[in-house]
Structures are given as structure tokens and as C-alpha cells.
């Protein structure tokens, strides 16, 4: 056999091996989290606040972290959508394809996308000190909003860019204003918005480094935006550093919960993309 | 809309300026170079040398890219050039989920699987004693975190290489690997570099996972089995005490500024490169 065919065989084997390694990592992560988490994932865990001596292994649950995470994620997703949809429309409908402003806006969002959450956290912390805010729900929401706006803009822009020029021209020729054209565009990018939302929820719920500075941690459900708030990833992190085995087991359970949420979001994202795609004009 | 757009353009500037403003106190007292290259870290006596942390970050990042790059390249080539559609249908969701798993879960996995593995089976073959919380553990965990990013970027880049090129190569009798090596990889090389740079900046900024597995001992690591203390871990570990000591806050903000500057440059360069690649093939 010629050398090139032997080479081909070897490389093919290596490729399959590499893909299997990726699979292996995936399986190992899911298996580890499920195996360690399931035994301690009880109804009490998700339905109760931490009781007295919770961090010494006594009774209680992580409802504070679940509610806290949900509050932050919901508020920042809504805020993020409100801010990023106009930006996406502006650079895609109002500006020309060759516009300098659009180019630099895209570039700056690309860079913002790469800035790690801990830098956002540190930055937001300095702002909060500047305005005299304490670690609070509000601070957490601000950081997470900052963090997910680039995700929103980038993934919606990706879809909005592919809306055909003819479609826009057709609406203009019917006498539509730019704002009315946006209504047509929003139909076209609906699946994009949906997947972008799920993507940012996933990122927002899993982020810990940003809220470490700004949201604080508490055993209660916050009553006002100025109260500190607990989040799931931080709850995993803090309980994991405990020397008591019962507490560490709760961290495993909380991590499992977090993973399940992310899994659901990811599957829902695929389904939604498939369903909403029917309005698309290629 | 215009105001929002223009405001977002300035967001980067504001973040940079804010961090610089906060770290200006420490920059006034020490010069930049002595901060970056200094080895002594003792906040109590006002000594702030960032070299162990910067080196720790660089080592962990480079290690993770070395591990992740061959795996992702081969996987991406396999998925784009060599395999049937049903395989990609299974692999894509897996990559999606891997990309979505929160870093704290990766950290947990690292402490449960990778750290004991290094401490019990891998470490003793090479060194006398290791706790497992090492540079190597950080590198492995980070590499798993950047593999999904790298693979999806590579797939995007490989699919921009025109099919005509591949057909031409195949018609000359090249095997698939020869086509991949001599046509696809060569044509996509600027894109590959850009993707790697992007993943470097992602790995560089990753906080919680490295915080959990790297060991966090101040000192320059000398081998794979020493513990490391990367910059993000430094910030995350000490934010609680930073208001209690003079200059400490400023020092930590300087750490954030260093990360911001490095990632800013890396990201901007790689994005511009990627756009060039896309334009070149779009014609």
C-alpha cells in the first residue's frame, strides 16, 4: 500500500479518537455531576430556605439561591433585550452595509463579548462604590445585564445580517417607514432572538465571578433591590469549600440542579430554532 | 437607537478608564514595570509584585491551548471533511451543552476527577508529592472549557474554504487527509490563528474553575505539578479583604486592568483577522 493511504488511515483514526475524547469529557462531566448530585437532591433542598446551622450540615435548602438566581436572570434578560434590540435594528436597518459606525459597533461588541465576567464584576464594583451602593440585587442585575448585552447583540446581529436586501427594499417600495420595516425584520429574526435569549439565560445563570463582587450572599430572599442576594453558582462554590461532608454533598446537588437547567435550556433552544424558522424567507 | 449604539461604542472606553482610575493610586507609587515584574507579594507590608500571578495565568492558558488545539483541530476536520451527517447531528448538541455548562460545574468536575487523578495516579510517577491542585489540573479543565469554542470556530472557518479547491485537490488524486493538510488547513491558517487567539483570551479570563483547581499558592510554578495562582483567582479570592488594607483595592483593580488590556488587544486582533478571512473567501 502506498504511504499516503497508510497516512490517511492513521489520521482518520486520530480524528475519531479526538472526537471520542470530546465525548469522553462530556460523559465524564455529566456522569460525575449526576452520580454525586442525585443522592442529595431532595425536595427539601429546592423548597426550603437554609435553616439554622445549615452550613454545619443541619436542615434546610437552597431556595434562597434558586430564587436569587431567577430574579437576577429574569431582570437582566428583560433589560438586556430592551437595550440590545434597538442596537441591532439600528446597525442593520438604519445604517448602510458599509457604514463605519456599524463596523466599529460590531467590533466593539465582539471585544466586549470576550471580556471576562470578573473584569465586569471589578468594574461594576468600582461604580457601585462610586455611587455608594452596597452589594445588592441591583448590583448583580447591572453586572449580568452588562455581561449578556454583547451575547444578545452578537447572536441577533448574526441573524439580522442575513435578512435579504430585497425584502427590505420590498417594504420600502410599499411606502413603509424604517420603523415599520423593523416590524418585518423582527419576524425574520424571531428564532434568532429566541436562541439569543436562551443563550444569555444560560450564561447569566451560570456566571459566578461577576456576581461575586456585586450581589453578595444571603440566606434570605431579597425584599428590595438594595438587599444582597444569593445565586446558585456561588452557593455551589461556598458550600464546596466547607470541610463538612453533608454540606459538600449539597454543593454537588446544587451543581446538578444548575446542570439540569443548562441542559433544558440547550435542548429548548434547538427545538425553538426549528419551530420558529417557518416564517423565514431565505 | 443611535444614542444606545454610540453609547455601546464607548462602553469599552468607560470600562478601561474606570479600572485605570481605580488603579492609578498604585501606579503613582510604583512604576509599571516594577509592578509587573516584581516577585514579592505581601499586601501587609505594601509590596505588590504581580509576576507570580501573571506567569501563573500565562502558563495555565498556554497549557490549556496546547492540550485543546490538536483535539479540536482533529475533531473539526473530522466533522467537516470526513464524516457522515448523522455523526455531526450527535456531536453538535454535545458541543452546545459543553459550551453552556457553567464554570463552577467544570470546577467541581475538576476537583472530583482531575485533581485526585493527578494526585494519585499521574503525579507519583513524576514527582515525589503533589496535592493534585496544580497547574496541570488547571490546564486540563480549561482545555475542556475552550474545546467547544475552538471546534465551533474551526468548523465555521473550514466551511468558508470553497468546495472547488477541495474537488480540484481530490481530482489530482490526493487523499482526504492530503486535501485537508495541503488545502483546507493552509487556506484556513489565518482563521485558525485568530480562533486560537480568541480561545486564549477566553481561557485567560476564566475565573472560578481555575480558582477551584489550581491550588492558589503565591509563587512561580516550576513544574506542571506545582500549584499556580492565576490573576482572576487572585481577584476573586481577595475581594473581601480589599477594602481593609491600604493600596490593596488599587492593586486588585490593577490586576483587573492588566487582564482587561491583554484581552482587549487579543480580542481585537483576532476579530479583525477573522473578518479579513471571511471577506477573502466571500467574493
Residue B93 has pLDDT above 80, yes or no: yes
Predicted local confidence at residue A262, as pLDDT = 86
- Is there a contact between B107 and A29 (Cβ–Cβ < 8 Å)? no
Under the banding of pLDDT at 50, 70 and 90, the label for residue B282 is low
Q: Kindly list the distances between the CA atom of residue B65 and the CA atoms of B21, B139, B208, B218, in Å, as whole numbers in the listed order.
A: 33, 8, 18, 23
- What is the SS3 assignment for B76? helix
All residues of chain B having their beta carbon less than 8 Å from the beta carbon of residue A111 are 12, 264, 267-268, 271
Q: Strands (DSSP E) along chain B, which ranges?
A: 41-42, 47-48
All residues of chain B having their beta carbon less than 8 Å from the beta carbon of residue A251 are 108
C-alpha cell, A274: 426549528
**What single string gives the DSSP state of each residue in A128-173?**
HHHTT--S-HHHHHHHHHHHHHHHHHHHHHHHHHTS-HHHHHHHHH
Q: Is B201 in contact with A16 (Cβ distance < 8 A)?
A: no
Q: Which residue of A has its CA nearest to B231?
A: A118
Under the banding of pLDDT at 50, 70 and 90, the label for residue B146 is very high
Along the 282 residues of chain A, how does pLDDT read in single tens digits? 688 888 888 888 999 999 999 999 999 999 998 888 888 777 777 777 776 666 666 666 778 888 888 888 899 999 999 988 888 888 888 887 778 888 888 888 888 888 888 888 888 888 887 787 777 888 888 889 988 998 888 888 888 888 888 888 888 899 888 888 888 888 888 888 888 888 888 888 888 778 887 777 777 777 777 788 888 888 888 888 777 887 888 888 888 988 888 888 888 877 877 776 666 665
Residue B46 has pLDDT above 80, yes or no: no
Taking the C-alpha atoms of residue B238 and residue B243, their distance in angstroms, rounded to an integer, is 10
A49 min Cα distance to partner chain B (Å): 22
| Residue where the block lists cell 468558508 | B160
Taking the C-alpha atoms of residue A186 and residue A153, their distance in angstroms, rounded to an integer, is 14
- Is there a contact between B35 and B117 (Cβ–Cβ < 8 Å)? no
Nearest to A252 by CA among A272, A274, A266, A237: A237
- Is there a contact between A198 and A267 (Cβ–Cβ < 8 Å)? no
Across the interface, which of A23, A104, A114 has its CB nearest the CB of B9?
Answer: A104
Task: Please give the model's pTM, rounded to 2 decimal places.
Answer: 0.86
B135 min Cα distance to partner chain A (Å): 19
H or E segment to which residue B68 belongs:
helix B51-77
Residue B208 has pLDDT above 90, yes or no: no
Nearest to A153 by CA among A106, A99, A186, A94: A106
Predicted local confidence at residue A56, as pLDDT = 65
Q: Kindly list the distances between the CA atom of residue A184 and the CA atoms of A88, A163, A172, B4, in Å, as whole numbers in the listed order.
A: 14, 10, 11, 22
B28 min Cα distance to partner chain A (Å): 19
* DSSP state letter for B83: S
All residues of chain B having their beta carbon less than 8 Å from the beta carbon of residue A22 are 71, 75, 91, 94-95, 98, 147, 151
All residues of chain B having their beta carbon less than 8 Å from the beta carbon of residue A240 are 108, 111, 212
Residue B95 has pLDDT above 70, yes or no: yes
pLDDT digits (tens, 9 = 90+) for B178-205: 888 888 888 888 888 888 888 888 888 8
CA B247 to chain centre: 29
Checking ipTM against 0.90, whether it exceeds it is no
- Give the number of beta-carbon pairs within 8 Å between A and B: 236
List CB contacts of A33: < 8 A, sequence separation 6 or more. A252, A255, A256, A259, B105, B108, B109
**What single string gives the DSSP state of each residue in B159-206?**
TTS-HHHHHHHHHTT--HHHHIIIIIHHHTHHHHHHHHHHHHHHHHH-
| Residue where the block lists cell 431532595 | A42
Predicted local confidence at residue B283, as pLDDT = 44
Taking the C-alpha atoms of residue A233 and residue A211, their distance in angstroms, rounded to an integer, is 9
Taking the C-alpha atoms of residue B65 and residue A33, their distance in angstroms, rounded to an integer, is 25
Predicted local confidence at residue A17, as pLDDT = 92
Question: Mean of the pLDDT values across residues B72-83?
Answer: 88
Residue range B2-282 in CATH 1.10.3720.10: yes
pLDDT digits (tens, 9 = 90+) for B120-140: 888 777 777 777 788 888 999
Q: Strands (DSSP E) along chain A, which ranges?
A: none
C-alpha cell, A46: 429546592
Q: What percent of chain B has pLDDT over 90?
A: 11
Taking the C-alpha atoms of residue B98 and residue B246, their distance in angstroms, rounded to an integer, is 42
C-alpha cell, B272: 479583525
C-alpha cell, B63: 497549557
Q: Is B176 in contact with A265 (Cβ distance < 8 A)?
A: no
C-alpha cell, B190: 489565518
CA A279 to chain centre: 26
Name all contacts of A94-98 with Cβ < 8 Å and 24+ positions apart: A94/A178, A94/B1, A94/B2
Predicted local confidence at residue A280, as pLDDT = 61
A27 min Cα distance to partner chain B (Å): 9
Amino acid at each position: 500500500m502506498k504511504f499516503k493511504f497508510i497516512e490517511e488511515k492513521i489520521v482518520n483514526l486520530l480524528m475519531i479518537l479526538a472526537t471520542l475524547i470530546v465525548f469522553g469529557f462530556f460523559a465524564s462531566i455529566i456522569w460525575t455531576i449526576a452520580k454525586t448530585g442525585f443522592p442529595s437532591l431532595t425536595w427539601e433542598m429546592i423548597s426550603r430556605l437554609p435553616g439554622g446551622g445549615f452550613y454545619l450540615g443541619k436542615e434546610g435548602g437552597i431556595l434562597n439561591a434558586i430564587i436569587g438566581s431567577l430574579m437576577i436572570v429574569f431582570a437582566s434578560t428583560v433589560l438586556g433585550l430592551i437595550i440590545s434590540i434597538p442596537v441591532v435594528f439600528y446597525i442593520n436597518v438604519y445604517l448602510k452595509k458599509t457604514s463605519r459606525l456599524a463596523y466599529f459597533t460590531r467590533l466593539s461588541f465582539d471585544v466586549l463579548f470576550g471580556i471576562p465576567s470578573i473584569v465586569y464584576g471589578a468594574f461594576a464594583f468600582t461604580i457601585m462604590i462610586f455611587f455608594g451602593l452596597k452589594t445588592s440585587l441591583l448590583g448583580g442585575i447591572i453586572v449580568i445585564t452588562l455581561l449578556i448585552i454583547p451575547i444578545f447583540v452578537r447572536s441577533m446581529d448574526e441573524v439580522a445580517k442575513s435578512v435579504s436586501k430585497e425584502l427590505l427594499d420590498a417594504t420600502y417600495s410599499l411606502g413603509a417607514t424604517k420603523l415599520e420595516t423593523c416590524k418585518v425584520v423582527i419576524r425574520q429574526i424571531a428564532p434568532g432572538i429566541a436562541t439569543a435569549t436562551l443563550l444569555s439565560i444560560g450564561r447569566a445563570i451560570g456566571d459566578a465571578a461577576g456576581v461575586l463582587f456585586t450581589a453578595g450572599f444571603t440566606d434570605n430572599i431579597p425584599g428590595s433591590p438594595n438587599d444582597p442576594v444569593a445565586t446558585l453558582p456561588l452557593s455551589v462554590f461556598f458550600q464546596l469549600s466547607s470541610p463538612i461532608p453533608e454540606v459538600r454533598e449539597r454543593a454537588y446537588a446544587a451543581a446538578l440542579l444548575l446542570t439540569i437547567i443548562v441542559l433544558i435550556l440547550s435542548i429548548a433552544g434547538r427545538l425553538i430554532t426549528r419551530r420558529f424558522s417557518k416564517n423565514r424567507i431565505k | 437607537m443611535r444614542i444606545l449604539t454610540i453609547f455601546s461604542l464607548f462602553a469599552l472606553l468607560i470600562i478601561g478608564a474606570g479600572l485605570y482610575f481605580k488603579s492609578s493610586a498604585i501606579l503613582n507609587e510604583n512604576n509599571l514595570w516594577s509592578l509587573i515584574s516584581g516577585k514579592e507579594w505581601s499586601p501587609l507590608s505594601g509590596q505588590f509584585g504581580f509576576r507570580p500571578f501573571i506567569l501563573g495565568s500565562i502558563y495555565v492558558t498556554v497549557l490549556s491551548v496546547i492540550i485543546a488545539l490538536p483535539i479540536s483541530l482533529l475533531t473539526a476536520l473530522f466533522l467537516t471533511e470526513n464524516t457522515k451527517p448523522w455523526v455531526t447531528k450527535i456531536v453538535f448538541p454535545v458541543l452546545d451543552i459543553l459550551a453552556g455548562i457553567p464554570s463552577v460545574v467544570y470546577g467541581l468536575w475538576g476537583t472530583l476527577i482531575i485533581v485526585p487523578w493527578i494526585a494519585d495516579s499521574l503525579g507519583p510517577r513524576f514527582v515525589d508529592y503533589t496535592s493534585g491542585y496544580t497547574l496541570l489540573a488547571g490546564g486540563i479543565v480549561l482545555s475542556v472549557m475552550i474545546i467547544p469554542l475552538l471546534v465551533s470556530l474551526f468548523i465555521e472557518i473550514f466551511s468558508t474554504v470553497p468546495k472547488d479547491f477541495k474537488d480540484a485537490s481530490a481530482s489530482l488524486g490526493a487523499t482526504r487527509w492530503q486535501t485537508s493538510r495541503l488545502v483546507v488547513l493552509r487556506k484556513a491558517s489565518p482563521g485558525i490563528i485568530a480562533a486560537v487567539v480568541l480561545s486564549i483570551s477566553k481561557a485567560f479570563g476564566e475565573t472560578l474553575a481555575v480558582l477551584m483547581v489550581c491550588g492558589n499558592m503565591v509563587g512561580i510554578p516550576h513544574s506542571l505539578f506545582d500549584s499556580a495562582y492565576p490573576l482572576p483567582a487572585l481577584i476573586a479570592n481577595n475581594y473581601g479583604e480589599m477594602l481593609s488594607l491600604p493600596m490593596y483595592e488599587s492593586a486588585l483593580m490593577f490586576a483587573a486592568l492588566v487582564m482587561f488590556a491583554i484581552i482587549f488587544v487579543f480580542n481585537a486582533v483576532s476579530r479583525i483577522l477573522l473578518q479579513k478571512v471571511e471577506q477573502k473567501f466571500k467574493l
